[in-house]
Structure 1
Amino acid sequence: MVGGVQHRQAETGERYDVFHTDCPARDVVDHVTSRWGIWVLISLRSNDLRFYELRESIQGISEKMLAQTLRALVQDGLVWREVEPTTPPQVTYGLTEFGQDIGEPLTALFDRITQRLSPRSAG
């Protein structure tokens, strides 16, 4: 079963006002730019991963925070979730088309930072 919500777009030519507190796009921006949201999107950029694989790929994230972050990103339509009916259930996550669109500039930003950052001194 793949989960997520369909996003309604602003009318043609109209843009959401993300600076307004009631803007639906504001929540998505908050989730993407949250402490862990960006790491989840970057971790899923190449492969679909199971929950434990995601947890291992993002050092420092707790299971609770990973679950909360994934729940928000699935609800926003950036990440899909598939549950295999096994015992215990195996849950796999991946990027939706919307998530891939959002992930591309984040990946470019991540790559620029890691390529341009000066090496840390060894002491």
Structure 2
Amino acid sequence: MINERVYKMAFSSVYPLYVQKAEKKGHTKREVDIIISWLTGYDEHGLRTQIGKGVDFETFFAEAPQINPNTHKITGVVCGIRVENIEDPLMQKIRWLDKLVDELAKGKSMEKILRS
């Protein structure tokens, strides 16, 4: 199943792609880290630890300190699928992260990205 493959991907292998996407559009690694922290509750040390351990997406989200209670405000399309309609909880979290990084790359303000 394709979802299984995504779940087992190392977060550390995808993280640099998030950063690269942001930096191509004039944003910073720090902004990507803020987005990840907002979504998952990881602080800087926790995020670096997870990246260093090479955990997969499944573990990354399972060990997240706290998924932000405002995630229900994340709406829109990623890869042709509306994130608010994704039924699989883990896939929805992965797509939320994709959506937030996409919004950063498209120039949305951090205030809007973080649903403030």
- The structure carrying a bigger strand percent of its residues is 1
Higher alpha-carbon Rg: 1
- The structure carrying a bigger helix percent of its residues is 2
